[in-house]
Amino acid sequence: MYTTEVVGVRQLELSGGCVMPHPTLLTTPHLHFAYLLTREETSELRLRESLENDVTDAKYGFRRVADHLERTGFLINMHTTEILDEDKRLISAMDYYFIQEDDTRFKVSLPFKPYFYILTKKDCTQEVSAYLTKKFGGSLTKVEVMTKEDLDLPNHLIGLKQTYLKLSFLTVTDLVKVRRELISAVRKNREREKNNTYYTEMLTNALASKGTTKKSTDHMENIIDIREYDVPYHVRVSIDMKIFCGLWYDIKSQGNDVPIITKRDDLIERPDPIVLAFDIETTKLPLKFPDANSDQIMMISYMIDGQGYLITNREIISSDIEDFEYTPKPEFEGLFTIFNEPDEMGLLQRFFEHILDVKPHIFVTYNGDFFDWPFVEARAAVHDLDMKTEIGFSRNREGVYACRPSMHMDCLCWVKRDSYLPVGSQNLKAVAKAKLRYDPVELDPEDMCRLASEQPQVLSNYSVSDAVATYYLYMKYVHPFIFALCTIIPLEPDEVSVHIP
């Protein structure tokens, strides 16, 4: 059972969530208190982050279900999270984001204990198990003896299996802490084993069988290997539970109990997610690249499910733009509604408000991770707007922009990896010619600021042409390709588009 109830974290950690370490680690009451405070603050930060994630998810219409109903949904996204169990302890879980046939959205949280395996010396399994249970009692929740196939065995083809210890934890944080110490021990033990000859090992085993020698009193020396320790948590859960994005599932929520998620093999047709493809045009100094510290956004053009929009910054654009149509080919229709905003702040606010109103499932850019998103984020900060607070997007550890309830697809990643176009033909204009079979509008970047004041309609046509090309490139090629891969690759969709070589 688990709960998402908000409780007093300090009381939680000191009373139920904090487990004392080995007595030798704490020699004074001050150290004891410092240890408790450190664990308390860490857990409080993690709980606060989890609650902030729930707020962001709710902005996009994904609220965690806690009733006793059965639903059928298409799994469009997934992320790791932490929730509170019935004992008010933080535990690792997966948030699964579903779309129903009527476009209703919801998410469910599936608790799952992270784990890895260790290999011990022969006949040391029980001793090492008891030792680890005692040593890591505050982090380790369960130790199981498992038999697994070991391809390193010279005779593994005849069906012999190796005995491993499976170490399970409440959270990934606990796993990482224990893993770090065990990896260090395994490395030392391997170095020591290299210095032992085959005959030395055979003699040691012979003496041990006669009872003339004793096993090492330091049981860390009996751990000789560690397996599956580097599998990311969401990959582990997807593989073990057989839950993949891009498929339909029956979801039976059971209040505070673990939900039951069952694959529906009879449902094949994918729903139509809300896709927003956008592109920005900025000012720049002559012969310089745009600088977010000094330049401004002139226009944001975007398409949502085939409908086009253009937001202009009237501080830069000399006149209002009227609604117009940009349809390069009959199958690539582009009817554009125009929002003429008085300044850059109004432009950004209009863009953010429209995003939260539409709640897109997927954002699409072309090289957005390295230009569009950083520029929008920087210009929003100039006007005291926090992009992460407003729409949930921020740069992650890999240097790409991501949001939990919505995914970001950078078409440039697909072009580089899967389009088979040469490097010199990977800009958006060249890709549109090769893949969409039309000639897009092209302008010299040095003329754009001049056109903003002299011929704003020409600049508008150029701006929306990029949004049209990005949108239809994604819908025709990238979207079906990525979500087909998601059904067999246990990753989030935006990871499939970026991380698969």
> pLDDT digits over 5-17, tens only?
333 333 333 333 3
Q: Are residues 330 and 475 in the same domain?
A: yes
Domain-located, residue 238: no
Q: Are residues 97 and 166 in the same domain?
A: no
Q: Are residues 152 and 86 in the same domain?
A: no
The token pair at 224 is 């000789």
Q: Are residues 455 and 402 in the same domain?
A: yes
Q: Are residues 133 and 212 in the same domain?
A: yes
Domain-located, residue 240: no
The sign one gets for the Cα dihedral 234, 235, 236, 241 is: positive
Cα separation, 272 vs 341, in Å, equals: 31
Q: Could you tell me the CATH number of the domain that includes residue 320? A: 3.30.420.10
Any bridge partners for residue 82, and if so which? Answer: 92
pLDDT of residue 2: 44
Cα separation, 342 vs 371, in Å, equals: 24
Give the mean model confidence (pLDDT) for residues 344-348.
98
Mean pLDDT of the chain: 89
CB 21 within 8 A of CB 103: no
Domain-located, residue 268: no
The model's pLDDT over 210-221, given as tens digits with 9 standing for 90+, comes to: 554 444 568 899
Q: Are residues 288 and 436 in the same domain?
A: yes
- Residue range of the domain that includes 142: 115-233
Choose the weakest-confidence range: 6-15, 217-226, 306-315.
6-15
Q: Are residues 335 and 462 in the same domain?
A: yes
Cα separation, 196 vs 457, in Å, equals: 79
Domain-located, residue 434: yes
Q: Which residues, other chains included, contact 108 with Cβ-Cβ below 8 Å and sequence gap of 6+?
A: 64, 65, 95, 96, 98, 251, 253, 259, 261
The model's pLDDT over 141-187, given as tens digits with 9 standing for 90+, comes to: 999 999 998 888 888 778 888 999 999 999 999 999 999 999 999 99
Q: Are residues 168 and 150 in the same domain?
A: yes
Domain-located, residue 180: yes
Query: What percent of the chain is modeled with pLDDT above 70?
Result: 87
Q: Where is pLDDT greater, at 477 or 68?
A: 477
pLDDT of residue 191: 87
Q: Are residues 364 and 419 in the same domain?
A: yes
Per the structure, the count of domains in the chain is 3
Q: Are residues 254 and 221 in the same domain?
A: no
Residue 36 has pLDDT above 90, yes or no: no
Q: Are residues 121 and 103 in the same domain?
A: no
